[in-house]
Amino acid sequence: MKITFVGAGSVVFTQGLLADLFAFPELGGVHIALHDIDEERLSTAEAAARYIAGELGASPRLTAHLDRREALAGADFVINIVQVGMAEATRTDFDVPASFGVRQTIADTLGVGGIFRALRTFPLLRALGADIAEVCPDAWLLNYTNPMAMNVQYLTEATGLTRVVGLCHSVYWTMRGLAELVDVPFEEVTYRAAGVNHQAWVLEFLRDGENLYPRLDALIEADPELRRRVRVDMYRRLGYYPTETSEHSSEYVPWYLGHESEISRLRVPVGNYLEIVDENIAAYEQTRAALASGAPLEVEGTMEYAPQIIHSMVTGTPRVIYGNVPNRGLIANLPSRGVVEVPCVVDASGVQPTRVGELPPQLAALNRNYLSMNDLVVRAAVEDEPRHIRHAAMADPATAAALTVERIWELCDAMVVAHGDRLQPSLRVVLG
């Protein structure tokens, strides 16, 4: 069996995934093919992989490839963790909108940052899809690259791939956090969530049939500081807890980032992701230095879904994970073309999404806004229509709350110029 990592130079994330994979004895002898276009990062990833395998007693076949098709040839699973443009492009996604007065916290899912992260990623996804179709057509593509929902929609519409699932840890870690908050062992909690990536909702939160939401309500009522979080504020108003952090959640609605009073009341860390970028760079440098000096590395699993999916498909062990897949009726009151996050059963036959039915109407209303913007971004690329970039920004709630329509178009022009050759040629158009 062969597992190919595309973007393996994201060394810290690669390390966590490998630790998860090698923790399964059945996967200790797999072929791990690492690919990156940065030779130094690729070399670091390979050295880290060999170290982790040794620490966990695994004996994989490890290969490193600057050539993507060579890495993909014959793969059974492809894990995509690419970040096109790396830190430089991410800073552009913050700095240019900030110069127009647009505040962002993470800028990787919706908003101006999410739009242009998608548009600079799409050319890579199209090429990746073409390579997979030619050299490993039966492979499952497990995508971690954000913006998740836009990327999965683009992959399914522009490349024709069908074995694609987007993976994110937000549901899992949200439920771990909620279990800890209400003082119930996570192993005793059952839950069901659904929606869209980074804006899904905890529809059921139970222990032995007991609804745990009243416990959460009591804690929130008793703790004023707990109420000073965006996701708690959204929960109190919408009735269902959102599955992503307050930092993320604040960007997908028009109510918070445009108001100084709300930023202060809810302690919203504007520009937060730039600090994370710096931390990731520092973590990479520490890993590289440790490997060069022979110092020990921390080997710690991350409970990510991709290794669990691979293990379930290889061994037939059934699991339920949360995956991002084309809707096609899975959530009845959301657009069929959109990508939704739902429970999926995984076993030897693959990843099988489950039908959720209808979301509560207030939740579906927000998710529809999100998916409408996603659809415009994907259409911009698939239809070579630069105006849809502007239409997407106009439809984005947080951007529309911050700027006039004229300034939205000017901001999009500035972003097109700033990202330049990272975009497909048909979209490198200044419309004025």
**Spatial distance between the Cα atoms of 376 and 272, rounded to a whole number of angstroms:** 27
**Spatial distance between the Cα atoms of 386 and 150, rounded to a whole number of angstroms:** 16
How many other β-carbons are positioned within 10 Å of the β-carbon of residue 101?
A: 11
**Spatial distance between the Cα atoms of 93 and 113, rounded to a whole number of angstroms:** 5
Nearest to 195 by CA among 217, 221, 174, 216: 174
**What is the widest separation between alpha-carbon atoms in the chain?**
60
Whole-number CA gyration radius for the chain: 21
- Contact criterion met (CB below 8 Å) for 319 and 160: no
263 CB-side CA count, 13 A: 12
Q: Which of 65, 169, 248, 419 is catalytic?
A: 169
**Spatial distance between the Cα atoms of 111 and 115, rounded to a whole number of angstroms:** 6
35 in active site: no
Nearest to 388 by CA among 376, 375, 399: 376
**Spatial distance between the Cα atoms of 35 and 5, rounded to a whole number of angstroms:** 6
Question: Ramachandran region of residue 406, left (φ > 0), alpha (ψ -120 to 50) or beta?
Answer: alpha
- Contact criterion met (CB below 8 Å) for 385 and 379: yes
Nearest to 163 by CA among 10, 2, 353, 383: 353
- Contact criterion met (CB below 8 Å) for 174 and 228: no
Nearest to 24 by CA among 339, 233, 317, 294: 317
Give the active site residues.
169
